[in-house]
Amino acid sequence: MTEFDDVGRPMMDIARGDVEASHRVRRNLELLQENARDPEFRRLIQEVLDGRRSLREAAGTPLFGSGMAPHLDAFAEKWDEATAEGQEVTSEESVAEFRRLQDRVRSAMAEIEDKVRELQRYQDDLEAGG
């Protein structure tokens, strides 16, 4: 049975009930459809957008694979350019800084959680008359 989003459009099956994820998938499919040269591929995407076919089902077809090939080739080309000659997409220093920031955020969140628990105890004591 097809589920519908908040504006009455069929939900994308791969979104697993997440309306925002379904909207993002839909927008990406619409972009693919707009930029596709093959009318059969555009028709296949329209079937998914209309809810007549699931994205999982469509993705398993040779037509979907051939329609996606130019986009995947373009991505691979851009990726190769970005990583050419030892250039890294993200430097080790950036990754280390990100991890340090993650640790600081985790520590700050632990402090906040402790304070919230302490405030909750105070509130419970006040409500209990103590």
What are the φ and ψ backbone dihedral angles of 15, each rounded to 5 degrees? -80, -15
Cα–Cα distance measured from residue 2 to residue 8, given in angstroms and rounded to the nearest whole number: 11
Which residues face 10 on adjacent strands?
4
What's the pLDDT tens digit per position in 35-90? 888 999 999 999 999 999 999 899 999 999 888 888 888 888 887 777 776 666 67
What are the φ and ψ backbone dihedral angles of 31, each rounded to 5 degrees? -65, -45
Question: How many Å is the maximal CA-CA distance in the chain?
Answer: 75
Query: What pTM was estimated for this model as a whole?
Result: 0.57
- Average pLDDT of every residue of the chain: 84
Of the chain, the percentage scoring pLDDT greater than 90 comes to 21
Structure tokens at 56: 């999982």
Structure letter (DSSP) for residue 83: T
Domain range annotation of the chain: 1-88, 90-130
